[in-house]
Amino acid sequence: MKRMWRIGLVALAAFAVTGITAASASAELPEYMICKKTSKGGHYTSSLCTDESKVETGGEYELEKGLSKKTTFSAKSGRSIMATPETTDKVECKNTTATGEFTGSKQLTDVVIKASGCEAGAAKCASSGLTAGHIMSNALKGELGYIAGKGTSTPTVGLLLSQEASTYATEFNCEGLEIRTKGPLIGEATGNINAISPEAAYTFRQSKGVQQYTSFEGGGMFEDEWRWEFNLGKGWEPEGGDPSGLELTANSSQGMFEIKA
């Protein structure tokens, strides 16, 4: 089998992750928080709940955990690249989008990633039922955690995505080559760390097919790394999958709130 086929397919699928032993969500930071007007006497005079507007008593606003109502989000990315250390080949998707819902103060649910213009060399890739070049993930869930700097004034916060119910994050076909992906993945969250903002970014980085972040600080180690498997009609291989990495920045529009860290 030509090794050119054994490439890290589906940059979009890179969002998909599973197989972790992270502790379940708790009330600990980092958390999504909203600045809300209150009649009980808040600790902020600004609707953005900035440090400069903090007061002991008498403020009109207060930071509250989670969101006060059902809140959805969307994210967009330009080119995304997936690679594996097993080969110099790579897969590129021209555009990637994501939608989902915030739940609780640390979690996301019903996250669906869609990518277009996805090619592995000259082969176009597609999920079942979609046109050539289009890939869609299975439903994913997400959780916030510290990548580094917990307890400092400049923490690095990450978003971990994992499959909600299905065994694989993505399943698709590249002109006869079947691909499925699974395994943990963390992206760095920026833009609204300790500051109310309508914008945020989630950045996934890799070097030569190796993902930059593989665990959260203070626990949440992964049982495995992100991997993909392929099938050319003779069964799935390699056994256990090949390791792979993603390079992608997704910009999200999500309403006025912050990640308190």
Domain boundaries, the chain: 3-34+66-260
Residues in the chain: 261
Give the residue-averaged pLDDT of 99-114: 91
% of the chain residues with pLDDT over 70: 87
Distances (CA, A) of 184 to 89, 122, 210, 218, 256: 22, 28, 12, 17, 29
Give the SS3 label for residue 13. Answer: helix
Query: Is the pLDDT score of 25 beyond 50?
Result: no
**Could you report the per-residue pLDDT of 150-160, keeping only the tens digit for each?**
999 999 999 99
Query: Is the pLDDT score of 73 beyond 50?
Result: yes
Between 74 and 11, residue with greater pLDDT: 74
Give the residue-averaged pLDDT of 25-43: 83
pLDDT band, very low/low/confident/very high, at 68 (cuts 50, 70, 90): low
Measured from the Cβ of residue 260, the count of other Cβ atoms closer than 10 Å reads 19
Dihedral over Cα of 138, 174, 243, 98: its sign: negative
The whole-number pLDDT of residue 175 equals 93
Distance CA 218, CA 50 (A): 28
What is the rounded average pLDDT for all residues in the chain?
83
Distance CA 85, CA 99 (A): 30
Give the residue-averaged pLDDT of 123-137: 95
pTM of the model as a whole? 0.83
Which region among 16-20, 189-193, 204-208 has the lowest average model confidence (pLDDT)? 16-20
The whole-number pLDDT of residue 223 equals 56
Q: Which of 221, 216, 212, 226 is nearest to 183 (CA)?
A: 226
pLDDT band, very low/low/confident/very high, at 104 (cuts 50, 70, 90): confident
Residue 99 CA from chain centroid, whole number: 11
Distance CA 28, CA 161 (A): 18
Residues in contact with 112: Cβ distance below 8 Å, sequence separation at least 6, in sequence order: 98, 99, 100, 136, 137, 139, 140
CA torsion 55→61→63→68, rounded to 10°? 170
The answer, yes or no, to whether the previous bond of 30 is cis (omega within 30 of 0) is: yes
